[in-house]
Structure 1
């Protein structure tokens, strides 16, 4: 083993945990008799066999002075100074313990509900006194185990620089005798009424301990610094009367509630200029759960977003700077995150692996909206994408960026600075209290309350003639409002807000989204009308041939149809079928588009009710054309 390998610590660790002062209390041992038979790793087996040979004096089994077997005396010790290897001398005497690593305990053996995917639940404390827990897959202990050891080192486990350190450490973990069992789960979130965090912590009661087992390297950033009183005073109270902050914080509490709705994921995207305070809103939201690092950025590949989404299953995913993701992938990324279905992949043997699944609530921010970002590369955002990620204007009209009320600050920049500083100093206290509260609730009762609150929100704030798309987004706003109210009314009064505060703030954000959207109709219908009107405005004279001679009229190239006149002016646009399908209806189903246009009065139906008419054209004979009422096309209000 190379002493300079980054996952091996300096000899200073061994000196700091010197074996000479070894305390023999609270010692656990690993016997090599069974280890030699059961070790799964060739490297570990070799180390065990070498130790046995040394213990037997080069192959001949020696007896200890007391008549015992020297091989049985080869073992490991764990105490407050660390894990130590205890071998035997050539004379069969017990050797001085050799430091391997700082204290590392094997708490339990883990496996899933099918008694597969076994692993080890490891716990330790780093040099700063922070506790760590890792449910490590057993498959990482065989083959090349260097990634496994690197993960321990990255988590603060200090190791000796001896060339046999890695083999001895693996032998200790694999062969430690532990009767405790824990059940591992494939994703964090809700499982049988309990809630599991990525760091292995779980909430709720059950017969068996639940842990999230993974290959390490996770940046989950679930942590708490400061008390709940600190957070309410420094962060929570400054959110009052600030609708965007109320939305952001309530969205964090709403993440676990998506499980009770049965709905797919989706989220909100705060759109605003630079220095408007939208990133501050995301930091304030993150402080409900952990430090500012809890938030992520859109800058990632689709595969990378999959991993992040799994890590935030049944929680709220914060993503900043939408413009950083490739605009060609932005729409697909929105679908991917909201729908909760990963790509199907094959394992090394070519067999299909189970696709990743998740349900997340998204809280995003950026200087451009999703549709605008996609338009940079000529892509058109569909209604489904807009529904999954609702663009909420970050800046308040007549306000101070994202703020309506400055509280104890002189201006918006001052309040932003105060909030960023507060969110970096006190965070995470509300989260364990929130999850403890939710896991104590009766699920059917909680689901019924959520449904009732959603119905009230829709009745109070959604127009009666709203499209299905608008109602779907409104339901998501309603869930967030309910979460904010429930957190405020919970026994710990988590937010410190008065009753109705979360609802007022979230409703204001919903109204801002509706206004930015342009109304409560169907987004696809509006987009179709806009495209058809734009076509005639751009090409009415250049590509539509007049049906009667007009003095000074320019010749028509790339003809798309005709113009028909009366005494006053143009009355109808007559569009050839291929031009209608390929140009006016690009991105839409042509039959559905024709039906929608006819129902709106833009298209004139034939006598038999068809959306196209048979018209006799000089030089072409009788052809079927789509006849548009030009006055309807150009009138305002659609």
Structure 2
């Protein structure tokens, strides 16, 4: 079996130098970092195979020396932190740049074509006729003493380092591992100073742009503070500036053209997109591209941070994709309005996980201050700027967090006080706006954002209060139930209800109940099926609780000292029936902001 030996590092000074050993034990592989003389023969730098060739059984074996490729070094053994699989850290040079790749050992099980494709694709110079020697060389290499961890997911690693495909921040003994063919979306261009001057400065006075940048910076803080993922959804007409805000957010981490994703994917696709941007930001453009029947399910998945379980051919569970991420979405419609196109009722939980932000009816549509330019000029200026400077602020922010740690829990509690709420559901949304504000203020303190102190908090608080004034501080499920009943009355008030006193003379198809006028107020007497239809998707007990919370049940019965939610009526034709008597005026406060 062939063995591998790496001779001592040789420095080329004048004539090539020879290794100490004049005779080689063959067969073996050797890597020469510099040109050298071996067994009185000149060898150029590279990975060599030193073997023996015998023409016939009686012929004497003669030595052969074949150049396989440029110097290809096995630096360390790797252990994947997610599944424990073993690999090798390979390195070589291409045009003066050091290239690394984590090769899984299972890639050597077959002919090794995938290994060759990756190495050649990354620039390793290979002798074509000797390419089949690379796999035996790697397979025969003894396990290196150095062992490092790898991960296939960007973001925070258990070692404390922050891993990106092209670099590791804050640690030397961990590497990013992928197939070698995935696109690197964490790229950079220009300089951080250019980004600050051309982009950050123009965000001042524009809450939507400030929020978008803060959203991009908040990803690394989620795990540190313990805030759940979720997102904000920029709502506005076409060409209002929503997409530009998303490009600014994407420029924090990479090329906006490739870092930003789209709603035009399956649920499994959005899971992959989220995992590939773990601990950063997920940009999803144009919700109209999403499947209306699946969009709320996708919003849940983004916020919950765990993908769907799958099985191997051996019927064993594969590791699920996981992530922690904030999403920055956009669209001409809200999430619930888009879901309604597919016939799906709004899920209160989905609305809380992807909250609407007004990016269409501000002073200049999505903008509040265009810095003395026209809206079109402002848009063009920023659009040009993000194509020239990107990918610096996010990594610099993480590097600063590692080098200059702070008590993030205490800082978050202080910022959170600016987002006052009473209800627990609105509180979770407030947490999201607060973590974005904290990210922005922390970046300001670290001189990464050239904004005055308080800029991030004020912008995030303004947009949160706008959301709160529209949605209210109460239960999202209550809002959905009350809105459904109010809409049902608006649609069917005179077709599926009739006046109770004249019910015997009026024919109503698919009756939902009756109405009666009490002191000038029309009250609606819902039967049980009608009430369930008006707030479809909720149990009767949950519907009643929502009505009771706003005192919308105008008449109830008292039986044995206990109130019932409905009231008994003697029917004009004889007999008795029970109805839920609803005052529609008590429902109006919920729908006023919609």
User: Which TM-score band applies after superposition, normalised by the shorter structure?
Assistant: 0.7 to 0.9
Is 1:199 the equivalent of 2:165? yes
Partner in structure 2 of residue 341 of structure 1: 306
Contact 2:3 2:28 in 1 (8 A): no
TM-score w.r.t. length of structure 2: 0.85
The counterpart of 1:596, out of the listed 516, 525, 546, is 546
Q: C-alpha displacement at 1:549, in angstroms? A: 2.9
Q: Aligned equivalents of 1:192 and 1:70: distance in 2?
A: 43
Conserved 8 A contact 2:78-2:102: yes
* C-alpha separation in 2, matches of 1:315 and 1:507: 22
Q: Write the distance in 2 (CA, Å) between the matches of 1:541 and 1:636.
A: 22
Aligned ranges 1:292-311 → 2 under 5 Å = 292=256, 293-311=258-276
1:513 and 2:467 correspond: yes
The answer on 1:580 being equivalent to 2:531 is: yes
Q: Does 1:472 align with 2:399?
A: no
Q: 1:190 aligns to what?
A: 156
Matches within 5 A, 1:205-244: 205=171, 209-244=173-208
* The one of 515, 524, 540 aligned to 2:493: 540
Q: CA deviation at 1:194?
A: 1.7
Alignment check: 8 A CA contact 1:194 1:203 kept? no
For residues 138 and 391 of structure 2, the distance between their equivalents in structure 1, rounded to whole angstroms, comes to: 32
- The Cα shift of 1:554 comes to 4.9
Q: CA deviation at 1:605?
A: 2.2
Go from structure 1 to structure 2 and tell me whether the alpha carbon gap of 1:263 and 1:379 turns closer, same or farther (over 3 Å shift): same
1:518 offset after TM fit, Å? 4.1
Q: CA RMSD in A?
A: 3.0
| Aligned 1:20-31 pairs, distance under 5 A | none
Q: CA deviation at 1:609?
A: 0.7
Q: Structure 1 residues 148, 453: closer, same or farther in 2, change over 3 A? A: same
SS, match of residue 371 in structure 2: coil
Query: 1:313 aligns to what SS in structure 2?
Result: coil
Alignment pair present for 1:320 and 2:285 = yes
Aligned equivalents of 1:636, 1:252: Cα separation in 2: 32
Query: 2 CA distance for matches of 1:355 and 1:92?
Result: 55
Shift, 1:487, TM fit = 0.7
The TM-score normalised by the length of structure 1 is 0.80
Q: Deviation per CA, 1:14-59, whole angstroms, max 9, x where unpaired?
A: xxxxxxxxxxxxxxxxx81479xxxxxxxxxxxxxxxxxxxxxxxx
Distance 1:383 1:321 in 2: 21
Q: Structure 2: where are the runs of 5+ without partners?
A: 6-20, 36-44, 55-59
- Residue 558 of structure 1 is matched in structure 2 by 510
- 2:108 alignment partner, one of 138, 141, 162: 141
Deviates more, 1:69-78 or 1:295-304: 69-78
Query: Once the 2 structures are TM-superposed, how far is the Cα of residue 111 of structure 1 from its aligned partner?
Result: 0.9
Among 280, 297, 301, which residue is 2:244 paired with? 280
8 Å Cα contact 2:305-2:323 kept in structure 1: yes
Check conservation: 2:166, 2:184, Cα contact below 8 A. Answer: no
Q: 1:173 to 1:406 in 2, by over 3 A?
A: farther
1:196-223 deviations in whole A, cap 9, x for unaligned? 3241632225xx6012333333334222
Q: Which runs of 5+ in 1 are unaligned?
A: 1-30, 36-65
**Distance change in 2, residues 1:420/1:369 (3 Å):** same
Equivalence for 2:134: 169
Contact 1:299 1:325 in 2 (8 A): yes
Between 1:554-563 and 1:242-251, the stretch displaced more is: 554-563
Corresponding residue pairs, total: 557
| Deviation digits for residues 398-426 of structure 1 (CA, Å, limit 9, x no counterpart) | 22x33323237x32222222222222212
Equivalent of residue 262 in structure 1, options 216, 222, 226 = 226
Distance 1:556 1:71 in 2: 98
1:326-363: per-residue Cα shift (whole Å, max 9, x none)? 11111011100110111122222112233222211111
Equivalent residue for 1:494, pick from 448, 469, 476: 448
**Cα distance in 2 for residues equivalent to 1:637 and 1:187:** 43
Alpha-carbon distance in structure 1 between the residues aligned to 2:53 and 2:90: 31
